[in-house]
Amino acid sequence: MTDSLVAALRAVVGDAQVLTDADVLVTYENDWLNKYHGTARCVVRPGTVEETAAVVRACADAGAAIVPQGGNTGLVGGSVPRGGEVVLSTKRLTRLDPVDLSAMQVTVGAGVTIEALQRHARAAGVDFAVDWGARATATVGGAVSTNAGGSRVVRFGTMRAQVVGVQAVLADGSIVEQMHGLPKETAGPYLPAMFVGSEGTLGVVTAVRLKVVPWYRHTAAALVACESVADAVAMLPTLRSLSSLDAVELLMPEAVKVACDHLGIGTPLPVDFAGAFVMVDCAANDDPSQDLARLIGDRRGVMAIGPQRDQLYRIRDHITIAIGAKGTPVKLDVAVPVQRLAELLDEVHDLIAGIDGGELIVFGHLAEGNVHVNVLGAIDCAAEVTEFVLSTAIALGGTISAEHGIGIAKAHWLGRLKGDPTVAALRAVKHALDPQGIFNPGVLFPE
Ligand SMILES: Cc1cc2nc3c(=O)[nH]c(=O)nc-3n(C[C@H](O)[C@H](O)[C@H](O)COP(=O)(O)OP(=O)(O)OC[C@H]3O[C@@H](n4cnc5c(N)ncnc54)[C@H](O)[C@@H]3O)c2cc1C
């Protein structure tokens, strides 16, 4: 039987850009963790904003739900279908306008990867600030929609701080945009902000205007052994005094080990004597290694410049991948006020110690009190682990999602975090813009 919606979508984007073969759909139907799955009615890949608008209109006319998908590296189940939705892939929205060096801004398509954007910016002598391990696959549209963070937030902030314009398609197929990037304008609520962190529930982001930042060519990193998480936190005031400070990562010993084992290399420092490691990265117009070395003082650590720095980053970037290769973890992304981080991790450690076969692997972004809590061997008690970690984070004044988003995974937690009046206000915005509820049903708000 011919699907009339598929036929309508083919009329918009051409036959080749509407995918229906089960073998091809499979990569769009499974998430990066191989944890969230669902069948797609089809995958459609518009190449322009006008095509995107026509695709959304066709789906709305047919009452078909849409899951916007970028690089599909999301970790909370929001980028894959739950059952029968149309997956709208942004991968062909790859516009890359010239960098505007007088405004220090650039306009790019939602489907451009973070790595391609960084390359584009560097070719113009500047840089794009937000960076993390999935840069080769994650897209600008996905990063805006999840308010991605990564390792350089201590210096430049999250995606929210980079976005100065958004173009998006709403549920009725209308195109809204505020792309002039003016640093000063007070003309009503700021439309671009609405899409940051909206996780594909309000519309499809088709293009974004972003800030670019100076490209610091001199870099130096260090891996420093600390007695404990509290000791690592105690380094922060001194580290923050470095004007070249670019990243401060917390790597628990087991995280360093799992990544090095996966890469088949030795650990840069022996892991058994340290309570925690801090990876510090500095970048400047002049060599920052002397400042960094002075700051480390007589602490045990290794300085890394050039290829050795790249190797430290390789280890850092492979932690998530190495954990995934060992098994399916219970994975939680939480943040607490940094002074309470040690307390959070002590409580989590005690819980996991009581789980037979449970293996705790923690790493994260120290300056923001943001840790990724991964527990292998705990799938059978995933609900209990999740309940404990998230409720402890809230009790300590923190959040249940620092950078990965809410997705499907934590939708029923949103009310506990934000309170009923706030969730009601957010639902009202969603309903006003998407009365049929066609965008990403089940994400952010439980169905
Ligand atoms: C190895 C690894 C390391 C990671 N490290 C980090 C990290 O350090 N920091 C961090 O923040 N994240 C990290 N992530 C998570 C992930 O890369 C980010 O959430 C990223 O922003 C997702 O981008 P994406 O293009 O893959 O989006 P997807 O996974 O395709 O989608 C994510 C969400 O955004 C929506 N969406 C995507 N594109 C659009 C669009 N154009 N319009 C509207 N909605 C859209 C989807 O519907 C979904 O809800 C990591 C992931 C992996 C696999």
**In the CATH hierarchy, which fold is given to the domain comprising 4-89?**
3.30.43
pLDDT of residue 405: 97
| Residue 434 to residue 428: CA distance in whole angstroms | 10
Expressed in angstroms and rounded, the spacing between residue 405 Cα and the centre of ligand 1 is 9
Residue with tokens 């009046």: 421
Q: What is the CATH T-level fold of the domain 327-408, as seen in this structure? A: Alpha-Beta Plaits (3.30.70)
Q: How far is the CA of 321 from the centre of ligand 1 (A)?
A: 15
- CB hemisphere CA count around 431 (13 angstroms): 8
What are residue 208's phi and psi, to 5 degrees?
-140, 140
Q: 103 exposed, middle or buried (CB, 10 Å; 0-12, 13-18, 19+)?
A: middle
Residue position matching structure tokens 């990544």: 259
Residue labelled with tokens 């904003």: 49
CA separation for the pair 149, 159 (Å, rounded): 6
Ligand 1 within 6 A of CB of 445? no
Strand duo 40-44 + 85-89: pairing: parallel
Ligand 1 atom closest to Cα of residue 195: 43
pLDDT averaged per 10 residues, the chain (length 447) = 89 98 97 93 98 98 98 97 96 98 98 98 98 96 97 97 98 97 92 96 98 96 96 96 96 97 95 93 95 90 92 94 94 97 97 96 98 96 96 97 96 94 96 97 93
Tell me the C-alpha distance between 212 and 197, whole Å.
20
Residues contacting residue 185 through CB under 8 Å, at least 6 positions apart: none
Question: How much distance in Å is there from the Cα of 73 to the middle of ligand 1?
Answer: 5
Ligand 1 centroid to residue 69 C-alpha, Å:
9
Ligand 1 atom showing the smallest separation from residue 33 Cα: 53
Q: Is the CB of 76 under 6 A from ligand 1?
A: no
Out of 31, 69, 154, 315, mutate this one to test ligand 1's pocket (max ligand atoms within 8 Å of CB): namely: 69
pLDDT at 298: 87
Q: Is 19 in the pocket of ligand 1 (CB under 6 A)?
A: no
Ligand 1 centroid, distance to 146 Cα (angstroms): 6
Give dist(CA 253, CA 134) in Å, integer: 22
Token pair listed for 360 = 């705790």
Q: 140 CB under 6 A from ligand 1?
A: no
Q: Which fold has domain 105-214?
A: 3.30.465
Q: Are 291 and 342 in contact (CB under 8 A)?
A: no
What's the distance, CA 318 to chain centroid? 15
| 3-class secondary-structure state, position 5 | helix
Torsion of CA 107, 110, 116, 117, to 10 degrees: 30
In the block, residue with structure tokens 């400070």:
245
Can you tell me which atom of ligand 1 is nearest the CA of 78? Answer: 49
**DSSP string for 282-344:** EEESS--HHHHHHHHTTSSEEEE-THHHHHHHHHHHTHHHHHHHH---EEEEEE--GGGHHHH
Q: Write down the pLDDT at residue 352.
A: 96
Same fold, 105-214 and 218-320: no
- What is the 389 CA–ligand 1 centroid distance (Å)? 22
Residue 381 is given by DSSP the state G
- CA-145 nearest atom, ligand 1: 34
Q: Quick one: pLDDT at residue 297?
A: 87
Per this entry, what is the length of the chain?
447
Cβ-proximal residues to 255 (8 Å cutoff; 6+ apart), any chain: 319, 361, 362, 363
pLDDT at 2: 64
Compute, in angstroms, the gap from residue 199 CA to the centroid of ligand 1. Answer: 9
Cα gap 331→336, rounded to integer Å:
16
H and E: helices and strands count for the chain? 18, 17
Distance of CA 355 from the midpoint of ligand 1 (Å): 31
72 lines ligand 1 (CB under 6 A): yes
Domain boundaries, the chain: 4-89, 105-214, 218-320, 327-408
CATH 3.30.70.2190 fits 218-320, yes or no: yes
Among 349, 443, 332, smallest CA distance to 394 is for 332
Written as six digits, the tokens of 61 are 């006319």
Cα distance between the two ends of the chain = 30
